[in-house]
Structure 1
Amino acid sequence: MSKAERTRQFIIEQTAPIFNRQGYAGTSLSDLTLATGLTKGAIYGNFENKEEVALAAFEHNLSYVTNGLRASAAKSASAREKLLAVPRFYRHAYAEIRARGGCPILNTAVEVDDAPPSPLRRRVEETLRGWRGNLVRIIEAGQQTGELRPEINAAHYATVFMALIEGGVLLANTTGDAQALYTTLDHLEHVIETQLVT
């Protein structure tokens, strides 16, 4: 990487946990300069504005979750195992997700849900649509192979999966009790085994 690319990456890595914990509105330029040890000019020499830094930080935070989910699914050949890999990932990775400030999808979605259209809001919407679409594809592939019940509605269950996971993360973070998440993950695994698998 060039010096400029290294500096940009450094800014992203140092500010990502702050944006994830404090949100876009709650993160000031002073927070960014304090975290990086750089001047305002140095930060804005690499990014057009604070929103561009926040967007890059969101991508950085998101990559931990998406890469982990992909790696978990890649180890699984069947649709059943690919679906079960989702709650297994969250069960295994929750402590690290919590240490990083929580689920970046949930944190950012909560902040932008009533905000006017922005690049950050659009990226969160794309992320949620992409996650849902991936779950739908896994379920439909399992239906085609006869592994999952043909009558189930893939979009319905994809939405339920996401709501259970993000709701469980929200409850666990807010109450400080990880068992709230683990309970929802147990239920999700039960749903997979009893309502989806043939």
Structure 2
Amino acid sequence: MTKGEQTRQFIIMKSAELFNQRGFAGSSLSDITLATGIKKGGLYRHFTSKDEIAVEAYNYASQVVGGKFAAAIEQETTAYDKLMAYFHVYKNVTNEPPFIGGCPMQNTAVECDDAHPLLRLKAQESSSATLKSIREIVQDGINSGEFRSDLDPDAVASFTLSLLEGSIMLSKLEGTNNHMQLNLANYSNYLKMFCLKDHPPA
């Protein structure tokens, strides 16, 4: 990686942290210069606009979180444990989230619902990719006989992501992990009671 590429990546990384904590609208170019120590002229040598920085910053943040999901899932062998891994990644969301500021998809979706169509599209892409991954895990569980054959993978995926994102939002809002911990247990019970074909081992 050249020095110029390293500088560009550094700007993306610091901007991603900034945007995920303050939001796109709440972060100015001056804030980016303060976070990076790079003057506006230096920023414009690598990016044409704040919008371009924001898109690249979102891509970086979502890749970091996606990588942590993938790593957690890869350690598990059962469909049940792979689904639980999504919640374990965020189990300490208030103190040690997988990316500073919380969930990039959620933060971006809430802020940019009507205000920034391109960032909204990026959040939609993240949502679609996560739902697809969850559906595939559920379908694998069905195919292996771990999960009931009459399960609807789309319904389970929607419920899983909705519960996860709601738990993140409420935990961050209250500044405690209570909602995440409660729903981690609730989701485990849901999988055991309604999804597993047989009772799990004691």
- When normalised by structure 2's length, the TM-score is 0.91
Superposed displacement of residue 63, structure 1: 2.5
Of 94-103 and 40-49, more deviation after overlay is shown by 94-103
Q: Counterpart amino acid of 2:52? A: E
> Any conservation in 1 of the 2:23–2:108 contact (CA below 8 Å)?
yes
**CA deviation string 1:44-70 (max 9, x = no partner):** 110121111111211222223211110
Superposed displacement of residue 192, structure 1: 1.2
Corresponding residue for residue 175 of structure 1: 174
Q: Distance in 2 between matches of 1:166 and 1:70?
A: 17
| Number of residue pairs matched by the alignment | 197
Q: Distance in 2 between matches of 1:161 and 1:32?
A: 35
The 1:44/1:138 distance shift into structure 2, 3 A limit, reads same
Superposition pairs of residues 1-198 of structure 1, within 5 angstroms: 1-91=1-91, 95-97=95-97, 100-115=100-115, 117-118=117-118, 120-198=119-197
> Any conservation in 2 of the 1:84–1:192 contact (CA below 8 Å)?
no
The 1:53/1:17 distance shift into structure 2, 3 A limit, reads same
> Any conservation in 1 of the 2:147–2:196 contact (CA below 8 Å)?
yes
Q: Counterpart amino acid of 2:176? A: D
SS at match of 1:122: helix
> Any conservation in 2 of the 1:164–1:185 contact (CA below 8 Å)?
no
Identical-pair percentage:
35
> Any conservation in 2 of the 1:87–1:189 contact (CA below 8 Å)?
no
SS at match of 2:91: helix
CA RMSD of aligned residues (A): 1.6
Q: Distance in 2 between matches of 1:115 and 1:187?
A: 35
**CA deviation string 1:77-134 (max 9, x = no partner):** 221221122222221566321871111111111111223522x221110100010011
> Any conservation in 2 of the 1:98–1:173 contact (CA below 8 Å)?
no
Superposed displacement of residue 40, structure 1: 1.0
Q: Counterpart amino acid of 2:139? A: E
Which ranges of structure 1 fall in alignment gaps of 5 or more residues? none
Give every structure 1 segment of 4 or more consecutive aligned residues whose post-TM-superposition deviation is greater than 6 Å.
Answer: none
SS at match of 1:96: coil
SS at match of 2:138: helix
Q: Counterpart amino acid of 1:74? A: E
SS at match of 1:68: helix
Q: Counterpart amino acid of 2:150? A: E
- When normalised by structure 1's length, the TM-score is 0.93
SS at match of 1:113: coil
The 1:83/1:98 distance shift into structure 2, 3 A limit, reads closer
